[in-house]
Chains A and B, each alone.
Chain A
Amino acid sequence: MNSEKIKTLEQVQDALSIVEDARAAAPGNRQLEEASARLRKLERTIIRAKQEELVAALTADSAGLKALSEEIKASAKDLEAAANAIGKATAVVEALIKIVSTAASAGLL
Protein backbone atom coordinates (compact mmCIF):
# COMPACT_ATOMS: atom_id res chain seq x y z
CA MET A 1 0.00 0.00 0.00
CA ASN A 2 1.38 3.38 -0.96
CA SER A 3 0.25 5.85 1.72
CA GLU A 4 1.84 8.81 -0.12
CA LYS A 5 -1.00 8.68 -2.62
CA ILE A 6 -3.57 9.12 0.13
CA LYS A 7 -4.44 12.78 0.52
CA THR A 8 -7.97 12.99 1.86
CA LEU A 9 -9.76 11.65 4.92
CA GLU A 10 -12.10 9.74 2.65
CA GLN A 11 -9.17 7.94 1.04
CA VAL A 12 -7.78 7.12 4.49
CA GLN A 13 -11.10 5.60 5.57
CA ASP A 14 -11.31 3.55 2.36
CA ALA A 15 -7.76 2.25 2.82
CA LEU A 16 -8.37 1.51 6.50
CA SER A 17 -11.48 -0.46 5.61
CA ILE A 18 -9.47 -2.73 3.31
CA VAL A 19 -6.67 -3.19 5.86
CA GLU A 20 -9.04 -3.85 8.76
CA ASP A 21 -11.01 -6.43 6.76
CA ALA A 22 -7.73 -8.18 6.05
CA ARG A 23 -6.74 -7.96 9.73
CA ALA A 24 -10.03 -9.52 10.78
CA ALA A 25 -9.26 -12.44 8.46
CA ALA A 26 -5.67 -12.75 9.72
CA PRO A 27 -5.63 -11.71 13.40
CA GLY A 28 -2.21 -10.78 14.81
CA ASN A 29 -0.62 -10.20 11.40
CA ARG A 30 2.24 -7.77 12.14
CA GLN A 31 2.37 -6.23 8.68
CA LEU A 32 -1.32 -5.49 8.64
CA GLU A 33 -1.18 -4.02 12.13
CA GLU A 34 1.70 -1.78 11.02
CA ALA A 35 -0.35 -0.67 7.99
CA SER A 36 -3.37 0.11 10.16
CA ALA A 37 -1.27 2.14 12.64
CA ARG A 38 0.36 4.05 9.79
CA LEU A 39 -3.00 4.89 8.25
CA ARG A 40 -4.34 6.07 11.62
CA LYS A 41 -1.30 8.34 11.98
CA LEU A 42 -1.94 9.71 8.51
CA GLU A 43 -5.58 10.35 9.41
CA ARG A 44 -4.45 12.46 12.39
CA THR A 45 -2.04 14.43 10.22
CA ILE A 46 -4.78 15.31 7.71
CA ILE A 47 -7.18 16.23 10.54
CA ARG A 48 -4.59 18.63 11.97
CA ALA A 49 -4.07 20.32 8.63
CA LYS A 50 -7.82 20.84 8.26
CA GLN A 51 -8.10 22.22 11.79
CA GLU A 52 -5.26 24.68 11.17
CA GLU A 53 -7.02 26.00 8.08
CA LEU A 54 -10.26 26.40 10.02
CA VAL A 55 -8.51 28.42 12.72
CA ALA A 56 -6.68 30.64 10.24
CA ALA A 57 -9.89 31.48 8.40
CA LEU A 58 -11.71 32.50 11.55
CA THR A 59 -9.23 34.49 13.58
CA ALA A 60 -9.01 37.30 11.05
CA ASP A 61 -11.25 40.37 11.45
CA SER A 62 -12.04 39.77 15.10
CA ALA A 63 -9.83 42.50 16.56
CA GLY A 64 -12.24 45.33 15.67
CA LEU A 65 -15.15 43.96 17.64
CA LYS A 66 -12.89 43.11 20.56
CA ALA A 67 -11.68 46.72 20.81
CA LEU A 68 -15.23 48.03 20.55
CA SER A 69 -16.37 45.76 23.39
CA GLU A 70 -13.68 47.23 25.64
CA GLU A 71 -14.91 50.74 24.80
CA ILE A 72 -18.52 49.80 25.61
CA LYS A 73 -17.47 48.37 28.97
CA ALA A 74 -15.66 51.61 29.81
CA SER A 75 -18.78 53.59 28.87
CA ALA A 76 -20.95 51.46 31.13
CA LYS A 77 -18.50 52.21 33.96
CA ASP A 78 -18.74 55.96 33.25
CA LEU A 79 -22.50 55.73 33.31
CA GLU A 80 -22.41 53.99 36.65
CA ALA A 81 -20.18 56.78 37.94
CA ALA A 82 -22.71 59.37 36.70
CA ALA A 83 -25.57 57.55 38.48
CA ASN A 84 -23.47 57.48 41.66
CA ALA A 85 -22.69 61.19 41.32
CA ILE A 86 -26.42 61.93 41.16
CA GLY A 87 -26.83 59.91 44.35
CA LYS A 88 -24.10 61.94 46.02
CA ALA A 89 -25.70 65.20 44.90
CA THR A 90 -28.95 63.98 46.45
CA ALA A 91 -27.12 63.46 49.73
CA VAL A 92 -25.75 67.03 49.61
CA VAL A 93 -29.23 68.46 49.02
CA GLU A 94 -30.49 66.28 51.87
CA ALA A 95 -27.87 67.76 54.22
CA LEU A 96 -28.79 71.25 53.11
CA ILE A 97 -32.47 70.61 53.84
CA LYS A 98 -31.54 69.26 57.25
CA ILE A 99 -29.73 72.52 58.02
CA VAL A 100 -32.67 74.60 56.76
CA SER A 101 -35.13 72.47 58.69
CA THR A 102 -33.11 72.75 61.92
CA ALA A 103 -32.74 76.50 61.44
CA ALA A 104 -36.48 76.80 60.86
CA SER A 105 -37.26 74.80 63.98
CA ALA A 106 -34.93 77.02 65.99
CA GLY A 107 -36.80 80.04 64.70
CA LEU A 108 -33.85 81.37 62.72
CA LEU A 109 -35.78 81.53 59.45
Chain B
Amino acid sequence: MKFKFFFAASGLGVMLMSCASLTKSQIGAVNQFSQTSSNFSAYPGKIMTELAEIRLSRSVYAGSTFSDARLNLENLDGIHEQYTHDVEVSQKLDVTFKIIDKYAQSLLLLSSDKFETDIEEQAKNFGVGLDSLITLNNSIQGARAIPAGIGEAAGKLIALGGKQYVRSRQSKEIKKYVAAADTLIAIMTMNLLEHLGSKHLEELIANEEKGLKADFKTFLGHSKSTPEHGLAYVRLQLRLKNVRALQKQTMQATKDLRLAHKKLKQEIEKKKKIKEAVKEIQTLYEEVKEIKETIRSIETNKTAGK
Protein backbone atom coordinates (compact mmCIF):
# COMPACT_ATOMS: atom_id res chain seq x y z
CA MET B 1 0.00 0.00 0.00
CA LYS B 2 2.86 2.29 0.90
CA PHE B 3 4.37 1.92 -2.58
CA LYS B 4 1.03 2.30 -4.34
CA PHE B 5 0.42 5.55 -2.50
CA PHE B 6 3.85 6.94 -3.33
CA PHE B 7 3.43 5.91 -6.93
CA ALA B 8 0.12 7.72 -7.20
CA ALA B 9 1.39 10.82 -5.45
CA SER B 10 4.53 10.98 -7.58
CA GLY B 11 2.41 10.59 -10.70
CA LEU B 12 0.27 13.52 -9.61
CA GLY B 13 3.40 15.59 -9.07
CA VAL B 14 4.82 14.83 -12.51
CA MET B 15 1.47 15.51 -14.16
CA LEU B 16 1.26 18.93 -12.54
CA MET B 17 4.74 19.97 -13.65
CA SER B 18 3.80 21.08 -17.13
CA CYS B 19 4.99 24.16 -19.04
CA ALA B 20 8.22 26.06 -18.34
CA SER B 21 7.96 28.06 -15.15
CA LEU B 22 9.81 31.20 -14.20
CA THR B 23 12.50 30.61 -11.60
CA LYS B 24 11.96 31.88 -8.08
CA SER B 25 14.50 34.67 -8.71
CA GLN B 26 12.68 35.75 -11.88
CA ILE B 27 9.36 36.00 -10.02
CA GLY B 28 11.25 37.75 -7.23
CA ALA B 29 12.53 40.37 -9.69
CA VAL B 30 8.98 41.03 -10.93
CA ASN B 31 7.86 41.38 -7.33
CA GLN B 32 10.74 43.75 -6.50
CA PHE B 33 9.98 45.93 -9.52
CA SER B 34 6.30 46.06 -8.55
CA GLN B 35 7.04 46.97 -4.96
CA THR B 36 9.34 49.82 -5.99
CA SER B 37 6.89 51.25 -8.51
CA SER B 38 3.61 50.71 -6.69
CA ASN B 39 3.39 54.25 -5.29
CA PHE B 40 4.97 56.08 -8.19
CA SER B 41 2.00 58.45 -8.60
CA ALA B 42 2.83 60.24 -5.36
CA TYR B 43 5.96 61.80 -6.85
CA PRO B 44 4.89 63.80 -9.91
CA GLY B 45 1.59 64.71 -8.20
CA LYS B 46 3.49 66.16 -5.26
CA ILE B 47 5.14 68.75 -7.53
CA MET B 48 1.76 70.20 -8.48
CA THR B 49 0.30 70.20 -4.96
CA GLU B 50 3.41 71.84 -3.55
CA LEU B 51 3.31 74.58 -6.19
CA ALA B 52 -0.37 75.17 -5.37
CA GLU B 53 0.27 75.49 -1.64
CA ILE B 54 3.27 77.80 -2.06
CA ARG B 55 1.22 79.95 -4.43
CA LEU B 56 -1.64 80.11 -1.93
CA SER B 57 0.64 81.26 0.91
CA ARG B 58 2.55 83.92 -1.00
CA SER B 59 -0.63 85.29 -2.60
CA VAL B 60 -2.32 85.71 0.77
CA TYR B 61 0.74 87.54 2.12
CA ALA B 62 0.82 89.94 -0.83
CA GLY B 63 -2.96 90.42 -0.92
CA SER B 64 -3.08 91.39 2.75
CA THR B 65 -1.33 94.65 1.85
CA PHE B 66 -4.39 96.08 0.06
CA SER B 67 -5.92 98.88 2.04
CA ASP B 68 -9.20 98.66 0.13
CA ALA B 69 -11.36 95.99 1.80
CA ARG B 70 -13.36 95.30 -1.39
CA LEU B 71 -10.19 94.76 -3.40
CA ASN B 72 -8.72 92.64 -0.65
CA LEU B 73 -11.78 90.37 -0.56
CA GLU B 74 -11.96 90.09 -4.34
CA ASN B 75 -8.33 89.07 -4.39
CA LEU B 76 -8.86 86.49 -1.62
CA ASP B 77 -11.83 85.03 -3.54
CA GLY B 78 -9.63 84.77 -6.61
CA ILE B 79 -6.91 83.00 -4.60
CA HIS B 80 -9.48 80.59 -3.21
CA GLU B 81 -10.89 79.87 -6.66
CA GLN B 82 -7.39 79.29 -8.01
CA TYR B 83 -6.51 76.91 -5.19
CA THR B 84 -9.69 74.89 -5.81
CA HIS B 85 -8.71 74.68 -9.46
CA ASP B 86 -5.16 73.65 -8.51
CA VAL B 87 -6.53 70.77 -6.44
CA GLU B 88 -8.74 69.66 -9.34
CA VAL B 89 -5.78 69.74 -11.72
CA SER B 90 -3.69 67.70 -9.29
CA GLN B 91 -6.46 65.13 -9.02
CA LYS B 92 -6.77 64.87 -12.78
CA LEU B 93 -3.02 64.37 -13.12
CA ASP B 94 -3.00 61.90 -10.24
CA VAL B 95 -5.48 59.67 -12.06
CA THR B 96 -3.00 59.32 -14.91
CA PHE B 97 -0.04 58.64 -12.64
CA LYS B 98 -2.05 56.18 -10.59
CA ILE B 99 -2.43 53.94 -13.63
CA ILE B 100 1.27 53.11 -13.33
CA ASP B 101 0.67 52.38 -9.62
CA LYS B 102 -2.29 50.20 -10.45
CA TYR B 103 -0.28 48.19 -12.95
CA ALA B 104 2.56 47.72 -10.44
CA GLN B 105 0.15 46.80 -7.67
CA SER B 106 -1.64 44.20 -9.77
CA LEU B 107 1.72 42.77 -10.83
CA LEU B 108 2.70 42.64 -7.17
CA LEU B 109 -0.41 40.60 -6.48
CA LEU B 110 0.29 38.27 -9.38
CA SER B 111 3.93 37.71 -8.44
CA SER B 112 3.15 37.10 -4.77
CA ASP B 113 4.59 33.97 -3.18
CA LYS B 114 1.36 33.73 -1.15
CA PHE B 115 -0.08 31.13 -3.52
CA GLU B 116 2.86 28.79 -2.95
CA THR B 117 3.03 29.44 0.81
CA ASP B 118 -0.68 28.66 1.11
CA ILE B 119 -0.22 25.31 -0.60
CA GLU B 120 2.84 24.52 1.50
CA GLU B 121 0.90 25.28 4.68
CA GLN B 122 -2.06 23.16 3.60
CA ALA B 123 0.19 20.25 2.61
CA LYS B 124 2.08 20.48 5.90
CA ASN B 125 -1.18 20.26 7.85
CA PHE B 126 -2.18 17.37 5.67
CA GLY B 127 1.06 15.51 6.47
CA VAL B 128 0.73 16.12 10.20
CA GLY B 129 -2.94 14.98 10.09
CA LEU B 130 -2.03 11.84 8.22
CA ASP B 131 0.77 10.96 10.63
CA SER B 132 -1.58 11.40 13.62
CA LEU B 133 -4.04 9.05 11.96
CA ILE B 134 -1.31 6.47 11.40
CA THR B 135 -0.21 6.76 15.02
CA LEU B 136 -3.82 6.31 16.09
CA ASN B 137 -4.21 3.34 13.77
CA ASN B 138 -1.02 1.72 15.03
CA SER B 139 -2.11 2.16 18.62
CA ILE B 140 -5.25 0.09 18.05
CA GLN B 141 -4.66 -3.41 19.29
CA GLY B 142 -4.77 -5.94 16.52
CA ALA B 143 -4.72 -3.36 13.76
CA ARG B 144 -2.30 -3.84 10.89
CA ALA B 145 0.57 -1.43 11.48
CA ILE B 146 1.12 1.28 8.84
CA PRO B 147 4.70 2.57 8.49
CA ALA B 148 5.13 5.85 10.41
CA GLY B 149 6.44 9.02 8.77
CA ILE B 150 4.55 8.45 5.53
CA GLY B 151 2.39 11.56 6.18
CA GLU B 152 5.26 14.02 6.01
CA ALA B 153 6.53 12.49 2.78
CA ALA B 154 3.07 12.53 1.22
CA GLY B 155 2.58 16.16 2.29
CA LYS B 156 5.87 17.15 0.66
CA LEU B 157 4.89 15.47 -2.58
CA ILE B 158 1.51 17.16 -2.70
CA ALA B 159 3.11 20.52 -1.92
CA LEU B 160 5.64 20.03 -4.70
CA GLY B 161 3.00 19.14 -7.26
CA GLY B 162 0.67 21.95 -6.21
CA LYS B 163 3.47 24.52 -6.15
CA GLN B 164 4.69 23.51 -9.59
CA TYR B 165 1.20 23.83 -10.97
CA VAL B 166 0.60 27.25 -9.43
CA ARG B 167 4.04 28.53 -10.43
CA SER B 168 3.55 27.36 -13.96
CA ARG B 169 0.26 29.24 -14.22
CA GLN B 170 1.72 32.26 -12.45
CA SER B 171 4.70 32.33 -14.83
CA LYS B 172 2.50 32.12 -17.89
CA GLU B 173 0.41 35.08 -16.74
CA ILE B 174 3.39 37.20 -15.66
CA LYS B 175 5.16 36.67 -18.99
CA LYS B 176 2.01 37.55 -20.90
CA TYR B 177 1.24 40.73 -18.98
CA VAL B 178 4.76 42.11 -18.62
CA ALA B 179 5.24 41.73 -22.38
CA ALA B 180 1.91 43.39 -23.13
CA ALA B 181 2.53 46.23 -20.69
CA ASP B 182 6.00 47.06 -21.94
CA THR B 183 4.85 49.17 -24.89
CA LEU B 184 2.27 50.91 -22.73
CA ILE B 185 4.86 51.65 -20.04
CA ALA B 186 7.12 53.05 -22.76
CA ILE B 187 4.38 55.42 -23.96
CA MET B 188 3.30 56.45 -20.49
CA THR B 189 6.80 57.12 -19.23
CA MET B 190 7.53 59.10 -22.39
CA ASN B 191 4.41 61.22 -21.74
CA LEU B 192 5.39 61.64 -18.13
CA LEU B 193 8.89 62.75 -19.11
CA GLU B 194 7.43 65.26 -21.54
CA HIS B 195 5.17 66.55 -18.77
CA LEU B 196 7.97 66.83 -16.20
CA GLY B 197 10.31 68.53 -18.64
CA SER B 198 7.67 70.65 -20.36
CA LYS B 199 7.95 74.37 -20.91
CA HIS B 200 4.67 74.87 -19.06
CA LEU B 201 5.80 73.14 -15.89
CA GLU B 202 9.12 74.95 -16.05
CA GLU B 203 7.27 78.28 -16.31
CA LEU B 204 5.01 77.40 -13.37
CA ILE B 205 7.98 76.59 -11.14
CA ALA B 206 9.95 79.65 -12.28
CA ASN B 207 6.88 81.81 -11.62
CA GLU B 208 6.73 80.59 -8.03
CA GLU B 209 10.44 81.25 -7.57
CA LYS B 210 10.00 84.84 -8.74
CA GLY B 211 6.56 85.30 -7.18
CA LEU B 212 7.55 84.12 -3.72
CA LYS B 213 10.37 86.65 -3.49
CA ALA B 214 8.32 89.45 -5.02
CA ASP B 215 5.22 88.85 -2.88
CA PHE B 216 7.22 88.78 0.35
CA LYS B 217 8.98 91.95 -0.71
CA THR B 218 5.55 93.55 -1.21
CA PHE B 219 4.36 92.26 2.15
CA LEU B 220 7.47 93.44 4.01
CA GLY B 221 7.23 96.85 2.33
CA HIS B 222 3.75 97.38 3.74
CA SER B 223 3.78 95.50 7.07
CA LYS B 224 5.87 95.24 10.20
CA SER B 225 7.96 92.13 9.85
CA THR B 226 8.06 89.58 12.65
CA PRO B 227 10.39 86.55 13.06
CA GLU B 228 7.36 84.34 12.27
CA HIS B 229 6.98 85.99 8.87
CA GLY B 230 10.68 85.53 8.24
CA LEU B 231 10.49 81.88 9.20
CA ALA B 232 7.42 81.35 6.99
CA TYR B 233 9.33 82.83 4.05
CA VAL B 234 12.38 80.64 4.63
CA ARG B 235 10.25 77.51 4.93
CA LEU B 236 8.43 78.30 1.69
CA GLN B 237 11.79 78.83 -0.02
CA LEU B 238 12.96 75.43 1.24
CA ARG B 239 9.80 73.78 -0.04
CA LEU B 240 10.26 75.41 -3.42
CA LYS B 241 13.84 74.21 -3.58
CA ASN B 242 12.58 70.72 -2.87
CA VAL B 243 10.06 71.02 -5.72
CA ARG B 244 12.98 71.59 -8.07
CA ALA B 245 14.79 68.58 -6.61
CA LEU B 246 11.64 66.50 -6.88
CA GLN B 247 11.19 67.47 -10.53
CA LYS B 248 14.73 66.37 -11.33
CA GLN B 249 14.54 63.17 -9.30
CA THR B 250 11.14 62.19 -10.69
CA MET B 251 12.44 62.66 -14.22
CA GLN B 252 15.35 60.37 -13.44
CA ALA B 253 13.07 57.83 -11.73
CA THR B 254 10.73 57.86 -14.73
CA LYS B 255 13.67 57.04 -17.01
CA ASP B 256 14.75 54.34 -14.56
CA LEU B 257 11.23 52.92 -14.42
CA ARG B 258 11.21 52.57 -18.18
CA LEU B 259 14.63 50.89 -18.22
CA ALA B 260 13.77 48.58 -15.31
CA HIS B 261 10.58 47.39 -16.97
CA LYS B 262 12.35 46.77 -20.26
CA LYS B 263 15.08 44.81 -18.49
CA LEU B 264 12.49 42.89 -16.50
CA LYS B 265 10.76 41.85 -19.70
CA GLN B 266 14.10 40.66 -21.12
CA GLU B 267 15.03 38.79 -17.94
CA ILE B 268 11.80 36.83 -17.68
CA GLU B 269 11.98 35.87 -21.34
CA LYS B 270 15.24 34.02 -20.60
CA LYS B 271 14.95 30.51 -19.23
CA LYS B 272 17.39 30.87 -16.39
CA LYS B 273 17.95 32.09 -12.89
CA ILE B 274 18.68 35.75 -12.28
CA LYS B 275 21.98 35.40 -10.49
CA GLU B 276 22.31 39.03 -9.44
CA ALA B 277 19.62 41.51 -8.58
CA VAL B 278 18.51 43.26 -11.78
CA LYS B 279 20.73 46.37 -11.82
CA GLU B 280 18.06 48.57 -13.41
CA ILE B 281 15.53 47.73 -10.70
CA GLN B 282 18.15 48.47 -8.06
CA THR B 283 18.82 51.89 -9.66
CA LEU B 284 15.10 52.62 -9.72
CA TYR B 285 14.88 51.63 -6.07
CA GLU B 286 17.72 53.99 -5.14
CA GLU B 287 16.13 56.87 -7.05
CA VAL B 288 12.73 56.26 -5.43
CA LYS B 289 14.46 56.25 -2.03
CA GLU B 290 15.93 59.69 -2.76
CA ILE B 291 12.53 60.99 -3.86
CA LYS B 292 10.98 59.75 -0.64
CA GLU B 293 13.70 61.60 1.26
CA THR B 294 12.89 64.85 -0.59
CA ILE B 295 9.18 64.38 0.11
CA ARG B 296 9.96 63.79 3.77
CA SER B 297 11.91 67.05 3.79
CA ILE B 298 8.95 68.86 2.19
CA GLU B 299 6.60 67.44 4.80
CA THR B 300 8.94 68.51 7.63
CA ASN B 301 9.01 72.11 6.40
CA LYS B 302 5.27 72.05 5.86
CA THR B 303 4.51 70.79 9.37
CA ALA B 304 7.02 73.12 11.00
CA GLY B 305 5.57 76.06 9.09
CA LYS B 306 2.07 75.51 10.50
Contacts and interface: CB of A to CB of B under 8 A. Distances in A.
Interface string A84-104: 101100110110011001101
Main secondary structure of the interface of B (DSSP, over half): helix
Interface in A1-48: 8-10, 12-13, 16-17, 20, 23-24, 27-28, 30, 33-34, 36-37, 40-41, 43-44, 47-48
Given A40-B75, A61-B188, A76-B106, A71 B119 contact: no
Given A17-B214, A50-B203, A105-B140, A59 B146 contact: no
Given A75-B173, A105-B143, A86 B122 contact: yes
Given A76-B110, A79-B169, A87-B118, A9 B207 contact: yes
B59 interface: yes
A61 B230 CA distance: 45
B158 interface: yes
B206 interface: yes
Contacts of B206: 9-10
A86 to B, nearest CB: 4
Contacts of B181: 65, 68
B177 A68 contact: yes
B276 interface: no
B173 A72 contact: yes
Contact of A37 (B55, B66, B207): B66
Interface stretch (B18-26, B85-93, B280-288, B298-306): B85-93
Given A87-B122, A90-B123, A59 B218 contact: no
Main secondary structure of the interface of A (DSSP, over half): helix
Contact of B82 (A9, A12, A48, A98): A48
Q: For chain B, which range describes its interface: under 10, 10 to 19, 20 to 34, or 35 or more residues?
A: 35 or more
A101 B137 contact: yes
Contacts of A73: 106, 109
Nearest to B187: A61
Contacts of A75: 110, 173, 177
Contact of A65 (B81, B99, B203): B99
Interface of A: 8-10, 12-13, 16-17, 20, 23-24, 27-28, 30, 33-34, 36-37, 40-41, 43-44, 47-48, 50-55, 57-62, 64-66, 68-73, 75-76, 79-80, 82-84, 86-87, 90-91, 93-94, 97-98, 101-102, 104-107, 109
11 contacts: A30-B68, A40-B78, A44-B81, A54-B93, A58-B195, A65-B188, A76-B106, A80-B115, A83-B114, A101-B146, A107-B142
